[in-house]
């Protein structure tokens, strides 16, 4: 234990974890020590002979568990981005124990009695607004965790929580394994017609890394649709890739159907135990939306507009397929899900006179990062970035940047981990390694993860515009964490409701397509020449293209999430009926359209079954309403400027959850949110133009 790096704060700048000293063997002892330490601290708080006050109870709870927080934070981050078999064993072992540890705190009657006593007399405590918000959050946490249940009910709740933690861990590990195992092996380069030379080289390198020299490997990403489908001419290969994607976790050792059946059943039982009609009602009670009805109203108002646009585009795609079949005297076929992206790219080229290979050379990763993502942050908030190559990282692909405020003061560390690998879960996300807190005098350390295919040595990483947008999106989360300026860790940065946390990230996406920003980073990776003005104009004009597909696949997944979590315990299907339940849910929601499958099918829907978004996947669209309103606010006031950025920073981005998030948005925007800017941004119109579906009208 003497050399365990988790037992004391890191001595590195910003308390960056000492990645070069951390070994798998350190985790278990640190978890054990951390739980013991926090249990002692909490016992001392609960049985303090002095009457409860804000400092000896609430602030004391904030100060507890620092060793456990350090090891948990590093472990959860690395287990997602650079795992190994031993870490997965530790994860499976520790998940139920950590759940039990949390229950031991939140279900402690003596501890809750002190919190409750303070909450009941909160008006007389004369707390500042942030401290009052902290007290309210602690009371809410205890109540939602079951602090008011009987002892018998608490015993059952502990059992449920331990089982659920184990099931979600297994689900996550199964998706990681099935996604890696599902990679499609290609025997001939001729089958890869349509991919660029750089992409073909990356596929060869991926195959070699798995001991498949002389072959090519198409790794899977976490979503249903796979990026190579937009370029591959070989239809049978497209079908193989699509099938590999959709069949993940449906059979074999990584089969998730039984886990899903058990998860939704146990979640429903837990919700009932806590006094809620279903898991969705329980989850949404602590979100901005408030109720499942509010979420359903927004999604079902938008779904017809999105689906109508998707069907209209599908008809145009079918015409394109039929015309090509007639021209080359081949057999025509009906548009399928694995055809959509390929023919959509051709339709994009026909409508806007450009395609992905034309624009890719202008989106080189480092230039997008430095001259796009960082540039926008500098222009808006005065942030500047200096790469630090003197700090150890957990993988050679990771880059570290020190971030400085407008006055030159040190602000944060930012880690960028952009390339895909088998040890990394799919998707894109932001996490904290150190959370900002004035209580502990800590500045933030945040990381962005993406899964961009790594190019061959010496070759550029050329991005799709979707990948460019993802970089801006995740950096929006990073900004939310780095600009945080609050006292208490529980309220810091991104510690806000799920349907608010996506707001800063969805908003930051707008700068990817802002003409002044796009022109600053869209430069040819070889010559440095800017993207020609005419091509730039076409790229911007095409941004609403295919939004029927994108919005429909998202809404389908969000409605599927709600269907899974609005059922009672008795309505939970068996493992054999998971697929049938999904099909029926999509049909009943009116989004059953085979050409546009949901963004995630249930068996690999990690957001809701392993990622904390259960009954909350709607949050991206809910937050995007706020984001597009914010975009309109910026443009009405001159767009990219320090004055505008600093105002948003002062009203929202620096505030964490120091005040109710809905209040923060209203104070910034000056009025209730409206869905109009979102529809305009996506190029959609409601079937009834007089309808206004907004978070406010649906119970926000």
Task: List active site positions.
Answer: 474
Q: Quick one: which H or E segment has residue 690?
A: none
What three-state secondary structure class fits 571?
A: helix
Closest CA to 658 of 508, 476, 356, 439: 439
CA dihedral over 186, 190, 191, 196, signed as positive or negative? positive
Instruction: Quote the CA–CA distance of 517 and 511 in Å, as a whole number.
Output: 6
Q: Parallel, antiparallel, or unpaired for β 399-404 and 384-387?
A: antiparallel
With a CB cutoff of 8 Å and minimum separation 6, the contacts of 671 are none
Residue 628's Cβ-side half-sphere holds a number of Cα atoms within 13 Å equal to 17
Q: Quick one: which H or E segment has residue 275?
A: none
Structure tokens at 609: 């079954």
Instruction: Quote the CA–CA distance of 548 and 307 in Å, as a whole number.
Output: 6
With a CB cutoff of 8 Å and minimum separation 6, the contacts of 602 are 256, 260, 560, 564, 578, 579, 581, 582, 609
What three-state secondary structure class fits 254?
A: helix
Q: Quick one: which H or E segment has residue 451?
A: strand 445-452
Q: Which residues pair with 415 in a beta bridge?
A: 400, 447
Instruction: Quote the CA–CA distance of 480 and 262 in Å, as a whole number.
Output: 35
CA torsion angle 153 154 160 166 (round to 10): -170
Phi, psi of 185 (to 5 degrees): -90, 130
What three-state secondary structure class fits 387?
A: strand
Q: Quick one: which H or E segment has residue 448?
A: strand 445-452
What three-state secondary structure class fits 429?
A: strand
CA 178, 184, 188: angle at the middle one, nearest 5? 165
Question: Which residue is associated with the tokens 């003197």?
Answer: 390
Task: For 169-213, give the secondary structure using H, E and C.
Answer: HHHHHHHHHHHHHCCEEECCHHHHECECHHHHHHHHHHHHHCCCC
Instruction: Quote the CA–CA distance of 613 and 624 in Å, as a whole number.
Output: 16
Between helix 129-144 and helix 109-120 the angle, nearest 10°, is 140
Q: Which residues pair with 433 in a beta bridge?
A: none
Instruction: Quote the CA–CA distance of 605 and 260 in Å, as a whole number.
Output: 10
Q: Parallel, antiparallel, or unpaired for β 429-434 and 445-452?
A: antiparallel
Burial label, 534 (beta-carbon count in 10 A; 0-12, 13-18, 19+)? exposed
Structure tokens at 475: 């950096």
């Amino acid at each position: 234990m003497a050399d365990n790096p988790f037992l004391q704060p890191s001595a590195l700048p910003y308390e960056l974890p000492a990645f070069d000293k951390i070994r798998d063997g350190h985790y278990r002892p640190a978890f054990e020590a951390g739980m013991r330490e926090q249990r002692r601290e909490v016992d001392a708080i609960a049985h303090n002979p002095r009457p409860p006050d804000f400092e000896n109870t609430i602030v004391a709870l904030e100060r507890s568990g620092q060793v456990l927080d350090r090891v948990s934070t590093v472990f959860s981050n690395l287990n997602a981005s650079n795992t190994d078999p031993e870490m997965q064993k530790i994860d499976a072992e520790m998940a139920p124990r950590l759940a039990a540890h949390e229950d031991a705190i939140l279900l402690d009657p003596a501890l809750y009695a002190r919190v409750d006593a303070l909450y009941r007399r909160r008006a007389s405590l004369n707390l500042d607004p942030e401290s009052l918000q902290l007290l309210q959050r602690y009371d809410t946490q205890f109540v939602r965790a079951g602090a008011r249940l009987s002892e018998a009910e608490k015993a059952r709740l502990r059992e449920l929580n331990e089982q659920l933690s184990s099931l979600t861990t297994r689900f996550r590990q199964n998706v990681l394994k099935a996604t890696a195992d599902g990679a499609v092996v290609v025997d001939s380069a001729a089958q890869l017609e349509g991919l660029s030379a750089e992409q073909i080289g990356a596929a060869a390198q991926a195959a070699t890394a798995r001991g498949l020299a002389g072959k090519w490997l198409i790794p899977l990403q976490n979503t249903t649709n796979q990026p190579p489908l937009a370029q591959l001419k070989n239809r049978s290969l497209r079908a193989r890739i699509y099938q590999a994607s959709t069949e993940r976790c449906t059979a074999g050792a990584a089969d998730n159907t039984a886990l899903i059946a058990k998860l939704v059943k146990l979640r429903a039982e837990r919700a009932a135990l806590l006094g809620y009609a279903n898991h969705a009602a329980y989850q949404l009670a602590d979100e901005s939306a408030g109720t499942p009805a509010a979420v359903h109203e927004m999604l079902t108002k938008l779904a017809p507009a999105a689906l109508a646009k998707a069907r209209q585009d599908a008809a145009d795609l079918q015409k394109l397929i039929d015309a090509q079949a007639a021209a080359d005297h081949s057999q025509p076929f009906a548009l399928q899900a694995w055809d959509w992206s390929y023919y959509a790219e051709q339709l994009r080229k026909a409508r806007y006179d450009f395609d992905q290979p034309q624009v890719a050379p202008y989106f080189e990763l480092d230039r997008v990062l430095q001259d796009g993502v960082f540039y926008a942050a500098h222009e808006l908030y005065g942030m500047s970035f200096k790469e630090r190559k003197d700090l150890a990282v957990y993988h050679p692909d990771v880059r570290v940047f020190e971030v400085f405020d407008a006055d030159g003061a040190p602000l944060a560390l930012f880690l960028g981990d952009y390339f895909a690998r088998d040890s990394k879960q799919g998707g894109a996300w932001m996490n904290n390694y150190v959370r900002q807190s004035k209580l502990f005098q800590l500045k933030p350390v945040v990381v962005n993860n993406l899964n961009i295919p790594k190019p061959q040595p010496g070759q550029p990483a050329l991005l799709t515009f979707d990948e460019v947008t993802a970089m801006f999106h995740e950096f929006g989360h990073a900004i939310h964490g780095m600009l945080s300026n609050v006292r208490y860790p529980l309220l810091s940065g991104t510690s806000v409701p799920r349907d608010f946390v996506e707001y800063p990230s969805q908003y930051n996406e707008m700068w990817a397509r802002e003409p002044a920003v796009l022109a600053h980073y869209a430069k040819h990776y070889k010559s440095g020449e800017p993207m020609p003005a005419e091509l730039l104009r076409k790229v911007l004009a095409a941004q609403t293209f295919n939004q029927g597909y994108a919005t429909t696949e998202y809404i389908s997944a969000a409605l599927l999430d709600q269907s899974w979590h609005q059922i009672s315990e008795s309505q939970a299907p068996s493992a054999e009926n998971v697929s049938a339940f999904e099909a029926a849910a999509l049909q009943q929601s009116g989004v059953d359209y085979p050409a546009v499958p949901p963004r995630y099918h249930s068996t690999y829907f990690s957001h809701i079954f392993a990622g904390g978004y259960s009954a909350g996947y709607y949050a991206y669209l809910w937050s995007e309403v706020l984001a597009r309103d914010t975009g309109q606010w910026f443009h009405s006031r001159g767009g990219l400027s320090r004055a505008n950025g600093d105002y948003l920073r002062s009203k929202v981005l620096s505030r964490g959850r120091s005040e109710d998030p809905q209040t923060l948005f209203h104070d910034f925007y000056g009025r209730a949110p409206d869905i109009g800017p979102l529809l305009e941004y996506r190029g959609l119109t409601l079937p009834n133009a007089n309808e206004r579906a907004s978070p406010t009208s649906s119970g926000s």
